[in-house]
Amino acid sequence: MIARRTIHFYPGELGDVYAAMIAVPDERAALLAAFEDAFTRHMGAGHAIPVGSGRLGLRLMLGALGIGAGHEVIVPAFTDESVPDAIRAVGATPRFVDVDRGTMNLTVSGVAAALGPSTRAVLATHIFGNPCDVKGIGGLIEGWSDVALLEDCAHAIDASLDGQRCGTFGRAAMFSFVVTKAVNTFGGGMVLASSLELAAQIRQRASALPEPALGGIFRRIATGLTLSRATTQKGMRTALGVALRSFDRLGVDPVALYDRTVRSSTQNAQADNALSALQAAVALPQMRALPAHQARRNAIAIRLRQALGPNLTPQRMLPGAQHAWYFVVATTDDVPDVVRRALSRGVDLGVRPMRNVADDPSAFPNAAWLETHTVQIPAYPELSDMDVARIIAALRR
């Protein structure tokens, strides 16, 4: 049984966690500074500010830019629900725009039609790690001096367009480090600001927030590690795999149940806090491993996409786009059947990885269609070549 996704946390990191636990205050600051530094070096530009979650990062970015009541922020209708929530939390209004069915991202023409006198920002989102036309959107709003280009890089820590890293195109970008992300701090995020002035304003707001309680972080780590064990090949062959197949026969989706219970306890919903030094320590070895993991994700994704059968259409990429492969997704007209068949061949495909989050979902037909027609194919770096061959065999049938 091959899991749809797994979490990325390696036993070698436990030493760093322990070191962070006993770190004296000076070393704690140094750990956070080291994470910021590693992140900025990875991005090659900008000023990084660690935060407690991606959604908090978005709120801080908007607040620092003076975006609030009476202002609109253009966002894709196909995204995570925390995005419109964050915009509303600063008093602004999300202005939803439908996405392209192929790329699953915003289009320049869609953004152009939504721009108006109240627009203060466009949140260019690279969904599943697939770079959107952020250059086209940037060009479009060049003449709109009070509209900021922002990027949602929650999925896109290692994506680029024409050789430029996603996250460096606009005024600021935010990243997310929840358990399933390529860098996992058991809830956490980063803002990358383009200028020192904006970074200082965001940092001032971020540093006013308390560090999360250590007990809470350890609870998240414990839950995350349980999750990680359950979704290893062995876990999927035994306990979780057996549960998946028997629940499937009963018509109950055990993974949805699992997501609502175990996984939701490791998510970021309440993370209105600073990122702790402990989390920075957990992140550091992952930053070092990122290039190798990303190369492996890329190799797996290329193989999978080439092998998809005629009933599965891969996410379309723009010329010059380097996908980060947070998720390898494809669309199909028959999600339940494809998922059931794959499961019977030992491959667990994810469904509904993103939602149509608009207030009036029927007004956004592509987002609505994608919500119910997208499957997520396992493609995490820990998969062996043999696993990939098994996934391909299951998808071809």
Give the footprint of ligand PLP on this chain (CB under 6 A).
Answer: 53-55, 79-80, 82-83, 125, 152, 154-155, 176, 178, 189, 268
Query: Please, what is the minimum distance in Å from the beta carbon of residue 70 to ligand PLP?
Result: 24
Strand (E) or helix (H) holding 50:
strand 47-51
Closest CA to 5 of 128, 96, 153: 128
- Strands 72-76 and 119-125, how do they pair? parallel
Q: Which tokens hold the place of 384?
A: 């062996």
Q: Which is nearer to ligand PLP, 173 or 277 (CB)?
A: 173
CA atoms within 13 A on the CB side of 112: 10
Query: Please, what is the minimum distance in Å from the beta carbon of residue 314 to ligand PLP?
Result: 19
Q: Which is nearer to ligand PLP, 342 or 367 (CB)?
A: 367
- Alpha carbons 125 and 152: distance in angstroms, whole number: 5
- Alpha carbons 49 and 35: distance in angstroms, whole number: 9
Q: Which tokens hold the place of 12?
A: 């070698």
Q: Which is nearer to ligand PLP, 231 or 267 (CB)?
A: 267
Closest CA to 332 of 293, 373, 272: 373
Query: Please, what is the minimum distance in Å from the beta carbon of residue 262 to ligand PLP?
Result: 16
Query: Please, what is the minimum distance in Å from the beta carbon of residue 353 to ligand PLP?
Result: 9
Q: Which tokens hold the place of 291?
A: 């290039």
Q: Which is nearer to ligand PLP, 55 or 120 (CB)?
A: 55
CB distance 286 to 141 below 8 Å: no
Q: Which tokens hold the place of 69?
A: 């009541």
Q: Which is nearer to ligand PLP, 50 or 189 (CB)?
A: 189
Query: Please, what is the minimum distance in Å from the beta carbon of residue 193 to ligand PLP?
Result: 17
- The residue number with the shortest CB distance to ligand PLP is 54
Query: Please, what is the minimum distance in Å from the beta carbon of residue 42 to ligand PLP?
Result: 18
Q: Which is nearer to ligand PLP, 78 or 258 (CB)?
A: 78
